[in-house]
């Protein structure tokens, strides 16, 4: 399942002659979106077919979409505006690899959003192997805050999760630990 980088709900995908047609909306000063997007049709294969944006979108004061995500302004509510814009410009120029989006939040407010290449406001971005880094960071922080110990890394993962039925697990699932195999 994809982890959406989208900020609001998805609309309806256009299907013509069995082929998916994906287009970014014309720039109206808002973050780019896919028009007529159907959430059920979202897939990694379709993400790979998204056309690159003609130019990067940089938003230093994201629009309040009334989606439950508080917004602010970069440089006003936090962050160094010049530094972030310099870095975003480097991303747009291809200086940091194939990056599709960068969003920055500070003290619970979204302060900056930018979209490059295939990044769109309303299209989930598949995370794939980067989730290992997110997980490692979360576990490290949990240890730092005292919620876990190093010894906890060797306990089966399912012991931390409620309402699971270990008898229904596939072979080997009971032996998965936070440390890994």
Across the range 96-119, mean pLDDT stands at: 94
How far is CA 104 from its chain centroid?
11
pLDDT of residue 39: 84
Q: Give the alpha-carbon dihedral of 168, 128, 13, 103, to 10 degrees.
A: 120
Query: What's the half-sphere exposure (Cβ side, CA atoms, 13 Å) at 117?
Result: 17
pTM for this entry: 0.66
Q: pLDDT tens, 65-105?
A: 999 999 999 999 999 999 999 999 999 999 999 999 999 99
CA distance 53 to 87: 18
Q: Which two tokens stand for residue 17?
A: 């002659």
> What backbone phi and psi angles, to 5 degrees, belong to 60?
-90, -5
Across the range 134-148, mean pLDDT stands at: 94
Q: Where are the domains of the chain?
A: 14-115, 130-175
Task: Give strand ranges (E) for the chain.
Answer: 14-16, 19-21, 57-59, 101-106, 109-115
pLDDT of residue 28: 56
């Amino acid at each position: 399942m994809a982890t959406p980088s989208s900020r609001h709900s998805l609309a309806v995908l256009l299907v013509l002659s069995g082929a998916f047609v994906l287009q970014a909306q014309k720039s109206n000063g808002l973050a780019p979106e896919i028009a007529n997007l159907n959430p059920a049709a979202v897939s990694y294969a379709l993400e790979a077919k998204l056309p690159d944006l003609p130019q990067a979108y940089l938003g230093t004061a994201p629009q309040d979409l009334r989606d439950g995500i508080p917004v602010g302004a970069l440089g006003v509510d936090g962050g160094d505006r010049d530094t972030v814009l310099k870095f975003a410009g480097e991303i747009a120029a291809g200086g940091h690899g194939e990056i599709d989006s960068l969003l920055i939040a500070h003290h619970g407010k979204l302060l900056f959003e930018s979209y490059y290449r295939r990044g769109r406001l309303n299209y989930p971005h598949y995370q794939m192997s980067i989730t290992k880094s997110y997980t490692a960071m979360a576990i490290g922080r949990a240890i730092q805050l005292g919620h876990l110990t190093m010894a906890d890394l060797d306990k089966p993962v399912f012991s931390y999760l409620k309402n699971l039925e270990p008898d229904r697990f596939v072979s080997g699932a009971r032996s998965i630990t936070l440390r890994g195999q």
